[in-house]
Amino acid sequence: MALLLRLVLLCGVADFTSSLSITTPDQMIEKAKGETAYLPCKFTLSPEDQGPLDIEWLLSPADNQKVDQVIILYSGDKIYDDYYQDLKGRVHFTSSDLKSGDASINVTNLRLSDIGTYQCKVKKAPGVGNKKIQLTVLVKPSGIRCYVDGSEEIGNDFKLKCEPKEGSLPLQYEWQKLSNSQKLPTLWLPDMKSPVISVKNASTEYSGTYSCTVTNRVGSDQCQLRLNVVPPSNRAGTIAGAVVGILLALVLIGLIVFCCRKKRREEKYEKEVHHDIREDVPPPKSRASTARSYIGSNHSSLGSMSPSNMEGYAKTQYNQFKYAYKTDGITVV
């Protein structure tokens, strides 16, 4: 009896687990920034699955501090794709008929913030199923810059450098010579997979065009440089020319300063002369001398007057002197 009951339970469990199943396996997907990621989720139903179809996609961000977010939902024959603001307008179901068994989605214009674990949940009672997909967003190498660090002269040591502006690690480098014999110097071979080639005791045979290719798992980029190894320049002549140029500049500056100071002195002198009193103009008469002349003229006129007129004249003169005292400030003793 116990054995029969066990067989019945096993059969029931088998029927339940085989009702709804997601055929897409768990997987990891790598895509480049800016591209579109296709996240598959295909399922099959059985006759026992009679409930309404619900499909839900969730994102568990790479940052463990964030909780799972619903990014798109299908329920009641309607699609809701505005749950998660960071993916709004960038996540879509790939099938127009989700009841056909395809719940796959596309995530467009990928960003680094889209990295995380995506989970597809399908429910049609009594069946339930889910699958997880790990999405990694990488940055292609770009903005590669090739240049020579040092003086490209015979006998000198310098470096050839290859630097990408951006690109997800790990990065792989490969140097090639594109011109002349296209044969790389033997001493450079250890550095051909490196971002820097160290050149020792340079010679003219090193001259030519070189390329550097930078690659990672999602893309590659390339740059080129022209190396021209030349004889050493006349450094003594260059230094002498620089010294002469500096001296001439100092002389010119001195002349400008001298002229400016001379002009200022001349302007100052003209202002001083303009305010000085001219020596050939006689000084104005003082009020005291004017008063004396006035008194003298009146004394001379007294002698010609008769005694009968003296009294009236004296009163008149007193009033005039009083007025002169008040107006001119002259003190008469």
**Do 206 and 180 meet the contact criterion of CB atoms below 8 Å apart?**
no
**Cα-based distances in Å from 21 to 16, 49, 73, 128:** 10, 11, 19, 8
Highest mean pLDDT (candidates 5-14, 230-239, 283-292) = 230-239
Gyration radius of the chain over CA positions = 53
**Predicted confidence (pLDDT) at residue 270 exceeds the cutoff of 90:** no
Q: What is the mean pLDDT of residues 201-207?
A: 92
152 or 306, which is more confident: 152
Q: What is the mean pLDDT of residues 154-172?
A: 96
Q: What is the mean pLDDT of residues 75-97?
A: 94
What tokens were used for 306? Answer: 């008769």
Confidence label for 62 from pLDDT (cuts 50, 70 and 90): confident
Of 23-27, 180-184, 212-216, 312-316, the least confident: 312-316
Tell how far CA 65 is from the center of its chain: 30
**Predicted confidence (pLDDT) at residue 223 exceeds the cutoff of 50:** yes
Question: How far apart are the C-alpha atoms of 10 and 4, rounded to whole Å?
Answer: 10
Q: What is the mean pLDDT of residues 181-185?
A: 75
Query: In whole numbers, what is the pLDDT of the chain averaged over residues?
Result: 80
Q: What is the mean pLDDT of residues 56-70?
A: 86
User: What percent of the chain is modeled with pLDDT above 70?
Assistant: 71
Task: Please say whether the dihedral angle defined by the alpha carbons of residues 245, 249, 254 and 255, taken in this order, is positive or negative.
Answer: positive
Q: Report the SS3 class of residue 129.
A: strand
What tokens were used for 302? Answer: 């007294």
Question: How far apart are the C-alpha atoms of 332 and 297, rounded to whole Å?
Answer: 16
Q: Report the SS3 class of residue 202.
A: coil
State pLDDT tens for residues 281-320: 555 554 444 444 444 444 444 444 444 444 544 444 444 4
Q: What is the mean pLDDT of residues 67-96?
A: 94
Confidence label for 11 from pLDDT (cuts 50, 70 and 90): very low
Q: Give the residue among 98, 118, 139 at the shortest CA–CA distance from 38.
A: 118
143 or 302, which is more confident: 143
Q: Residue 284's pLDDT is what? A: 53
Question: How far apart are the C-alpha atoms of 200 and 196, rounded to whole Å?
Answer: 13
Q: What is the mean pLDDT of residues 276-282?
A: 51
Of 163-172, 198-207, 258-267, 288-297, the least confident: 288-297
Q: Residue 233's pLDDT is what? A: 79
Question: How far apart are the C-alpha atoms of 14 and 1, rounded to whole Å?
Answer: 20
- What is the pairing mode between strands 158-163 and 145-149? antiparallel
**Predicted confidence (pLDDT) at residue 29 exceeds the cutoff of 90:** yes
